[in-house]
């Protein structure tokens, strides 16, 4: 989604969750991929936090307090996978079960709950189960859109209650402000129940699509100020307007085109600053803003930016985010493209549908992973081993062969190694090498400077690539990253 707003000239407050720019959390969300199976990709990108949307409907489908064992297993294993990868989690719960819905139409899952305590009780149950293993908890998803908070009073319109045109965009996408009052009531009940369990729990409210100040102001009028820790929002953009040379393309994070109706909502920089100004006006600047979604589409058609445009927009957006000390976290939507989707929604990924890294993925690595010092592309990695020695890792930087061998420090006690190598030619190939080696297969020797060395005889493009090695141990639960994203280029 996406589009713009009014200029603001206010001083933005300092967040209660204080951080320097280097401490901002950058992450991803994924709808098209199960992140449990792709922690290696998350680590390649340098992801620090993930947003995990899940379904209340599937969790308690059969009735109140009847929790699905299979769905709990999915949540348990998701939390464990992220823990083992060293990645923080935002849990976001929406979709009402039929028994809890305010509507008799059980084919639609986004009607408001008939009893907000039911939603709050489900969140409280999960908080007791996972505690601080989950970093933050987000209440619902985009309730300010007409499809995100359905109301039985508008059953004749499939539950959608659009607000007046003068407070809407040209597509009438935003719900009336009665919905804002209802959502705020649910947030207040949920906040109190969760805080009674853990006074330090981080609760994110809003989950706003766009810079919807009308909705946010109504939340404040409904008394929500003391019932959330951070404000979640999704600052997408829209298409260049008619008359512009790029008409039909998705515009970037600096762009905005007042006085079009779209400009009230779908702008990145202006939309975020408009939301921040509203928080400051409410004397609520101690709270941070969390981008639980943001992103740009690489789709070549309507409302897409193309491959390079997506990368350019992302690079600029990250630069802007780093200027905003009130932004605590930013999750890119999404990890990978979806298969067989011929419109913009299927092309937001950092990887394509075949898990080949896109130009936007390379930007993410350079701007996030390398910025945070996880590994410098020009640094030779060394690991302490039993025999005091410094082990040189190869390939690293400029090399002279397109079929390199790979050498890394051996790790005492490791029973296998995973070698993952991306080729950054045209096309990009993620996981061109994706192979496990036992120490004997990798020629690991503590008497040879502690090196493991393999020669896969795989040819790489002259643009080179990037590689990782993970060591696994006999219990199968513990792993250690040995080489973390070294870049090489063939001269």
Overall domain count for the chain: 2
> Peptide bond before 105: cis, by omega within 30 degrees of 0?
no
101-125 confidence digits (pLDDT tens):
999 999 999 999 999 999 999 999 9
Determine the structural domain holding residue 164 and report its residue range: 21-369
309 and 417 together in one domain:
no
Strand 136-139 and strand 451-454: pairing?
Answer: unpaired
Mean pLDDT of the chain, nearest integer: 88
473 and 353 together in one domain:
no
Q: Which pTM value belongs to this model?
A: 0.75
Contacts of 244 (CB under 8 A, 6+ apart): 257
Q: What is the CATH number of the domain that holds 454?
A: 2.60.40
Percent of the chain with pLDDT over 70: 89
Domain assignment of residue 4, yes or no = no
Question: What band does 49 get if pLDDT is binned at 50, 70 and 90?
Answer: very high
**DSSP-based three-state secondary structure for 114:** coil
For residues 353 and 217, give the distance between their C-alpha atoms in angstroms, rounded to a whole number: 39
467 and 334 together in one domain:
no
177 and 280 together in one domain:
yes
> Peptide bond before 57: cis, by omega within 30 degrees of 0?
no
Which residue, 151, 203, 185, is CA-closest to 16?
203
336 and 406 together in one domain:
no
277-321 confidence digits (pLDDT tens):
999 999 999 999 999 999 999 999 999 999 999 999 999 999 999
Distances (CA, A) of 90 to 51, 139, 290, 374: 5, 10, 10, 22
**Contact indicator for 449, 386 with CB cutoff of 8 Å:** no
326 and 447 together in one domain:
no
**Across 26-46, average pLDDT:** 92
Is residue 383 over pLDDT 80?
no
For residues 270 and 377, give the distance between their C-alpha atoms in angstroms, rounded to a whole number: 34
Contacts of 369 (CB under 8 A, 6+ apart): 44, 45, 46, 375, 485
Considering 9-23, 322-336, 403-417, the range whose residues carry the highest mean pLDDT is 322-336
Domain assignment of residue 75, yes or no = yes
Percent of the chain with pLDDT over 90: 71
46 and 176 together in one domain:
yes
Which residue, 268, 279, 357, 360, is CA-closest to 317?
268
Is residue 374 over pLDDT 50?
no
> Peptide bond before 427: cis, by omega within 30 degrees of 0?
yes
Question: Which tokens hold the place of 158?
Answer: 């499939």
For residues 267 and 144, give the distance between their C-alpha atoms in angstroms, rounded to a whole number: 16
Domain assignment of residue 388, yes or no = no
Domain assignment of residue 391, yes or no = no
Which residue, 366, 370, 357, is CA-closest to 431?
357
Q: What angle do CA 29, 34, 39 make, to 5 degrees?
A: 80
124-174 confidence digits (pLDDT tens):
999 999 999 999 999 999 999 999 999 999 999 999 999 999 999 999 999
Q: H helices then E strands: how many in the chain?
A: 9, 15
For residue 251, the 8-state DSSP code is P
Is residue 382 over pLDDT 60?
no
């Amino acid at each position: 989604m996406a589009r713009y707003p009014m200029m603001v000239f206010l001083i933005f407050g300092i967040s209660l969750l204080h951080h320097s720019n280097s401490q901002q959390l950058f992450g991803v969300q994924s709808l098209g991929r199960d992140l449990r199976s792709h922690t290696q990709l998350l680590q390649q990108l340098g992801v620090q936090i993930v947003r995990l949307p899940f379904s209340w409907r599937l969790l308690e489908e059969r009735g109140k307090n009847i929790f699905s064992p299979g769905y709990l297993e999915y949540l348990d294993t998701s939390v464990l996978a992220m823990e083992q990868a060293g990645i923080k989690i935002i849990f976001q719960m929406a979709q009402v079960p039929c028994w809890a819905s305010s509507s008799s139409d059980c084919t639609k899952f986004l009607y408001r709950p008939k009893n907000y305590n039911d939603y709050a009780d489900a969140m409280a149950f999960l908080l007791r189960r996972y505690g601080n293993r989950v970093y933050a908890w987000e209440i619902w998803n985009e309730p300010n859109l007409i499809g995100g908070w359905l109301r039985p009073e508008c059953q004749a319109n499939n539950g959608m209650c659009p607000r007046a045109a003068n407070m809407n965009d040209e597509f009438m996408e935003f719900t009336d402000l009665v919905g804002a009052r209802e959502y705020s009531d649910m947030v207040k009940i949920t906040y109190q129940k969760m805080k009674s369990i853990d006074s330090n729990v981080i609760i994110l409210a809003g989950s706003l699509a766009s810079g919807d100040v009308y909705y946010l102001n109504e939340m404040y009028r409904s008394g929500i100020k003391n019932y959330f820790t951070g404000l979640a929002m999704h600052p997408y953009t829209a298409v260049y307007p008619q008359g512009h040379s790029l008409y039909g393309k998705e515009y970037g994070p600096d762009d905005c085109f007042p006085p079009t109706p779209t400009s009230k909502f779908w702008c990145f920089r202006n939309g975020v600053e408009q939301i921040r100004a509203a928080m400051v006006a409410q004397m609520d600047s101690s709270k941070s803003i969390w981008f639980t979604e943001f992103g740009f589409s690489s789709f070549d058609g309507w409302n897409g930016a193309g491959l390079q445009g997506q990368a350019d927009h992302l690079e600029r957006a990250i630069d802007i985010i780093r200027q905003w000390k009130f932004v605590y976290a930013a999750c890119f939507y999404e990890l990978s493209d979806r298969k067989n989707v011929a419109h913009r929604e299927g092309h937001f990924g950092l990887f394509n549908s075949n898990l080949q890294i896109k130009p936007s993925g390379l930007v993410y690595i350079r701007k996030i992973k390398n910025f945070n010092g996880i590994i410098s592309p020009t640094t030779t990695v060394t690991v302490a081993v039993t025999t005091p020695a410094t082990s040189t890792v190869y390939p690293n930087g400029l090399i002279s062969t397109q079929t390199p061998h790979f050498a890394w420090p051996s790790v005492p006690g490791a029973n296998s190694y995973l070698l993952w190598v991306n080729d950054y030619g045209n096309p990009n190939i993620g996981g061109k090498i994706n192979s496990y080696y036992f120490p004997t297969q990798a020629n690991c020797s503590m008497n040879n400077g502690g090196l493991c060395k393999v020669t896969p005889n795989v040819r790489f493009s002259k643009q080179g690539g990037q590689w990782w090695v993970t060591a696994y141990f006999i219990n199968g639960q513990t792993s250690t990253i040995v080489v973390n994203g070294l870049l090489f280029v063939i001269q």
